Amino acid sequence: MSARAFETTGVLESQRQLRLDTPLPLDAPSRVRIIVLLPADEFEGFDEAEWLHAATTSPFFDFLRDSREDIYTLADGRPFDDQG
């Protein structure tokens, strides 16, 4: 699927509806894919379980369920030990 990107800002309102600051240059109605970017300090309330749920239920990652994506095994690469 090819895609074009348009950037704008907006407000997520109380009913979880997104109100854009400027209209998109598209004919409506039209189906779109939305990527939401939040300021880093707003991520403090998300725990690991919420992130895991979002990653496993998001259609964005559906391609990973395709067996053609299974190109690596445990024998590939070298172990990484972060001494941080």
Q: Is the residue at 82 inside a domain?
A: no
Residue with tokens 């991520």: 43
CA angle 61, 62, 65 (to 5 degrees): 110
Kindly report, residue by residue over 57-70, the tens digit of the pLDDT.
Answer: 888 888 888 888 88
Kindly report, residue by residue over 15-44, the tens digit of the pLDDT.
Answer: 888 899 998 888 888 888 888 887 777 666
Q: Is the residue at 73 inside a domain?
A: no
Q: Is the residue at 80 inside a domain?
A: no
Task: Give the structural domain span for 22.
Answer: 10-64
Q: What is the pLDDT of residue 75?
A: 87
User: Mean pLDDT of all residues in the chain?
Assistant: 82
Q: What is the pLDDT of residue 43?
A: 63
What is d(CA 49, CA 14) in angstroms, rounded to the nearest whole number? 24
Q: Is the residue at 34 inside a domain?
A: yes
What's the total number of domains in the chain?
1
Q: Is the residue at 27 inside a domain?
A: yes
